[in-house]
Amino acid sequence: MNIPDTATADKTISINALKISCSACSMHQLCLPMGLEDADIDRLDKIIGKRRRLERDEPLYKMGEPFRNLYAVRFGHFKTYQINVAGEAQITGFQMAGELLGMDAISGDRHHCDAVALEDSEVCEIPFAHLEDLFGHVPTLLRHFHRIMSREITREQNVMLLLGNMRAEQRFAVFLVNLSARYAARGYSPTRFQLRMSREDIGNYLGLTIESISRLLSRFKKLGLVHVDKREVELLEPARLKAMAAGTEQCSPMA
Q: Which stretch binds its own copies (CB under 8 A): 7-15, 135-143, 187-195, 219-227?
A: 135-143
Bridge partners of 126, per DSSP, are: 70
Using CB under 7 A, pick the residue from 208, 226, 233, 251 that binds DNA.
208
Q: Is the Cβ of residue 146 or residue 167 nearer to DNA in the bound state?
A: 167
Query: Using CB under 8 A as the criterion, what x/- string covers residues 10-49 for binding its own copies?
Result: ----------------------------------------
Q: Is the Cβ of residue 105 or residue 168 nearer to DNA in the bound state?
A: 168
228 binds, among its own copies, DNA, none (CB under 5 to 8 A by kind): DNA
Q: Report, in Å, the least distance between residue 180 CB and DNA.
A: 19
Alpha-carbon distances of 185 from 76, 188, 208, 243, rounded to whole Å: 15, 7, 27, 20
What is the size of the binding site for DNA (CB under 7 A)?
23
Does residue 55 interact with DNA by CB under 7 A? no
Query: Using CB under 8 A as the criterion, what x/- string covers residues 178-207 for binding its own copies?
Result: --------------------------xx-x
Does residue 58 interact with DNA by CB under 7 A? no
**Residue 172: burial class (beta carbons within 10 Å; 0-12, 13-18, 19+):** buried
* Cβ neighbours of residue 172 closer than 8 Å, sequence gap 6 or more: 202, 206, 208, 213, 216, 220
Which parts of this chain interact with its own copies (CB under 8 A)?
A: 82, 84-86, 88, 90, 92, 103-108, 112-113, 132, 135-136, 139, 142-143, 146-154, 156-161, 163-165, 204-205, 207, 246-248
